């Protein structure tokens, strides 16, 4: 389970939590412009936009969970079991395996308008990365400072949605989340007014009572509402440090504490890391479950004309052993 958000406060940011019961071998990985990206059916990209994100670089291939490219386009994959449905290869389509979709989009597209054109003929295939790594059921949020899309591959085919909320979680499909927001039209961050009756003077007994009814559980539908409410009502200074801290504060409100969510097979689902990307500055900020210190890798300070992947191990402990 995961939560993704966009955030704009002068500059544009893209953040997410990665909620999982195990490590997937994550590292911060920069894919420079001249690193050859091969695809199962599409042409190899020998040159492309540089990108940075969290990935497992298995066999030299950057399997990104999320990333941002040098043009400011961001993309994240979020768990979508039971609804994700990948097809066999189809003639006349851009056949892209699910594990290839993030580098394929971010390598080719500079903005959300180009993404819309590229996705018109896409077919997301069920090709496995290897016999030991079968396709992961995902849907994706794609965004830049001008807009946000949700990409879902279901039995109905590939669905592309405009996402005015700039938020995505997990099941059900995005159409449900878009409708479910209507159930929370009464929520407000303002000091609440008495609409119960005109005949009795009723006053709030506490601050924050305008948001009574905001769901607090860890289900994907509730996290969607909570993240959207926090995001739309968020206020902070227009400074990089304040903005980055604010994104992490929003994500903290949808993060999972180990032990509070137990999977069907008895494992603990928890927020392994959360991240915040500033596309304009090429910054990838992150913190892990064990290390709450915000750390950063700056893509713009690296050699993006290189032909080799750049790896940065994440620091998972803030206490010396």
Kindly list the catalytic residues: 2
Residue carrying the six token digits 């590292």: 27
Beta strands, E only, the chain = 2-9, 11-20, 27-31, 51-58, 61-69, 74-79, 94-97, 122-125, 138-144, 147-154, 157-162, 167-168, 270-278, 283-288, 295-298, 310-312
Q: 107 vs 2, 38, 168, CA distance in Å?
A: 24, 11, 22
Report the distance separating Cα 250 and Cα 271, nearest Å: 14
Which residue blocks in the chain are alpha helix, DSSP H? Answer: 101-108, 112-119, 174-180, 220-232, 240-252
**Per-residue DSSP letter, 114:** H
- What is the number of other CB atoms lying within 10 angstroms of the CB of residue 306? 15
Say how many residues make up the chain: 321
Do 153 and 85 form a contact (C-beta atoms < 8 A)?
yes
Residues with Cβ within 8 Å of residue 101, at least 6 apart in sequence = 75, 77, 124, 140, 151
- Record the tokens describing residue 59, joined without a space: 């066999």
The DSSP-derived string for 128-160 is: -SBTTBPPP-EEEEEEETTEEEEEEEETTEEEE
Cα gap 299→121, rounded to integer Å: 31
């Amino acid at each position: 389970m995961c939560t993704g958000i966009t955030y704009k406060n002068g500059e544009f940011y893209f953040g997410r939590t990665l909620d999982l019961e195990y490590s997937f071998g994550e590292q911060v990985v920069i894919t420079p412009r001249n690193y050859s990206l091969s695809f199962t059916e599409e042409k190899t990209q020998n040159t492309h936009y540089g990108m940075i994100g969290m990935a497992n670089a298995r066999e030299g291939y950057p399997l990104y969970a999320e990333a941002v490219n040098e043009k400011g386009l961001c993309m994240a994959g979020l768990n979508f079991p039971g609804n994700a449905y990948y097809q066999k290869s189809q003639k006349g389509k851009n056949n892209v395996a699910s594990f290839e979709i993030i580098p394929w989009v971010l390598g080719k597209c500079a903005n959300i308008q180009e993404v819309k054109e590229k996705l018109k003929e896409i077919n997301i295939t069920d090709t496995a990365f290897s016999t030991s790594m079968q396709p992961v059921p995902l849907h994706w949020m794609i965004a830049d400072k001008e807009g946000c899309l949700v990409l879902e591959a279901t039995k109905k085919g590939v669905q592309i949605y405009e996402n005015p909320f700039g938020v995505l979680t997990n099941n059900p499909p995005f159409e449900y989340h878009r409708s479910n927001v209507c159930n929370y039209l009464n929520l407000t961050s303002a000091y609440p007014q008495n609409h119960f009756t005109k005949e009795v003077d009723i006053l709030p007994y506490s601050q924050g009572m305008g948001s009574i009814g905001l769901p607090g559980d860890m289900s994907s539908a509730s996290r969607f509402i909570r993240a959207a409410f926090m995001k739309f009502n968020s206020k902070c200074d227009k400074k990089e440090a304040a903005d980055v801290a604010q994104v992490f504060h929003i994500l903290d409100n949808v993060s999972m504490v180990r032990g509070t969510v137990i999977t069907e097979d008895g494992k603990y689902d928890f927020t392994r890391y959360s991240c915040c990307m500033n596309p304009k500055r090429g910054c990838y900020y992150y913190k892990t479950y064990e290390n709450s210190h915000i750390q950063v890798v700056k893509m713009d300070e690296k050699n993006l004309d290189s032909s080799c992947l750049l790896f940065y191990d994440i620091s998972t402990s803030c206490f010396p052993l």
